[in-house]
Structure 1
């Protein structure tokens, strides 16, 4: 999978995948076509739109979760990400965003229904990640994971070095100090995208798998990893299960 370059966008819009359906969705938004696609949401540009649509789009649990955020920036990121998610899923499924049914997969550890969010039937897979100011969404017909993060501070690298595979830790130790925040964030987004694609998330040991900290992701059996070029100050990655 090649590196994906993401421009600054006003609304959720396709970054990869097939050309949009000329007919568009019910509100004029280009209808996504099946396949691995990545979309970007800029919170500062999408906030007003998302706030207006949230009451009729989000379910009760999502609205309650949004109300729990103390910081307005965190609440805005959450609302923008989830309104965009339901809007795009509605276009894929040809239903109103508020009618999209999102379930929880069985937990891989206890088999209770509090695993990752899924759609009934399992024919379309999706993944969502958001940080302050940006959200990234991925859709595919195979399991997919996506992650976007702000560059970590140097102190954070020292505090969380145990999340790296020994080879990755060795690679970072050989870099100049000024290059380590980007390299660490790059390897972390690859790991989290891959673990989200697997459906285990951070319940698994992030240091167990080697994804590489260099400019190109390492090969992971059964998966295709790609870095996503997002606005300055961030790193992002997407993982797609291959046949």
Structure 2
């Protein structure tokens, strides 16, 4: 397999953040040990070795993934999509003990309506393996766990983005953003949004569940997690925000 170096760019971190692994693959890693309420995180940079990435994409992606990539007009969006999905297949293949191109997916039932359009999962419903992926800008963030997991990464936008979605977050989060100095508001909004997206992905609802229902906060302090879940910020490069949500076993 060609060397795919997708390590993260330098970033400031703090102890409250969970650090993902840079993805540096000469060969796929071995099967992951996935204890309850823990997540393995991987961060891939789409700007590293794009030609090798293109070759891998031709070899491992299925027709649907290729069509989706080709439909993306911006080269940067296409490159990041390919990075996320090639990385997902390589890591899932290593976990399942099969070649990346042989990985198959299914859709879980939607928690809101029961329809066959819930979150993606490995084809074998008996397999105790859950995953989530997100990509934005030049980064792809992936999580694997033995319990439901959600992950999100987003670029930090301008103040106008935070102001445009006023009313979409929990009332306490809205109050926090309103009292936040304008210069700090984009990062505060990004923290709140990625925590929200990660949690809703973990639930399997996505934005079908209103982001205003659950309080996860917008500050730099450790996240207030909903009952039965652990939500944590993820250490990502400057200009991005990331978060992961992992469902805890019953009784924790």
Whether TM exceeds 0.5 here: the answer is: yes
Deviations 1:47-84 (A, max 9, x none): 22221111220111101111111111110010110000
Q: Is the 8 A contact 2:130 2:145 kept in 1?
A: yes
Confirm whether residue 109 of structure 1 aligns to residue 90 of structure 2: no
Q: How does 1:66-85 map to 2 (within 5 A)?
A: 66-85=69-88
CA contact (8 A) 1:104 1:117 kept: yes
Matched, 1:125 2:130: yes
Counterpart residue number, 1:203: 208
Contact 2:20 2:41 in 1 (8 A): no
- 2:174 is aligned with 1:175: no
Alignment coverage as a number of residue pairs: 228
Aligned counterpart for 1:239 among listed residues 232, 237, 245: 245
Q: Whole-Å Cα distance in 1 between the matches of residues 145 and 174 of structure 2?
A: 32
Is the Cα contact below 8 Å between 2:28 and 2:90 reproduced in 1?
no
Check the 8 A contact 1:147/1:192 in 2, yes or no: yes
- How far apart, in 1, do the equivalents of 2:168 and 2:68 lie? 28
Contact map agreement 1:6 1:231 (CA 8 A) in 2? no
TM-score, with structure 2 as normaliser = 0.86
What SS does the corresponding residue of 1:149 show, helix, strand or coil?
A: strand
Contact 1:12 1:40 in 2 (8 A): no
**Cα distance, 1:219 vs structure 2:** 2.6
The structure, 1 or 2, with the larger RCO (C-alpha pairs under 8 Å, 6+ apart) is: 2
Distance (whole Å) between structure 2 residues aligned to residue 147 and residue 12 of structure 1: 21
Which structure 2 residue ranges, 5 or more long, are not aligned?
A: 1-14
Q: How is 1:1-243 mapped onto 2 (pairs within 5 angstroms)?
A: 2-6=16-20, 9=22, 11-12=23-24, 28-35=27-34, 36-119=39-122, 120-121=124-125, 122-215=127-220, 216-243=222-249
C-alpha distance in 2 between matches for 1:46 and 1:223: 36
Deviations 1:85-140 (A, max 9, x none): 00000000000001011111122333332211011224100000001100000000
**CA distance in 1: counterparts of 2:200 and 2:24, whole angstroms:** 24
State the distance in 2 between where 1:12 and 1:136 align: 14
Deviations 1:16-41 (A, max 9, x none): xxxxxxxxxxx633324122200000
The TM-score, its normalising length taken from structure 1, stands at 0.89
Structure 1: segments with no counterpart, 5+ residues: 14-26
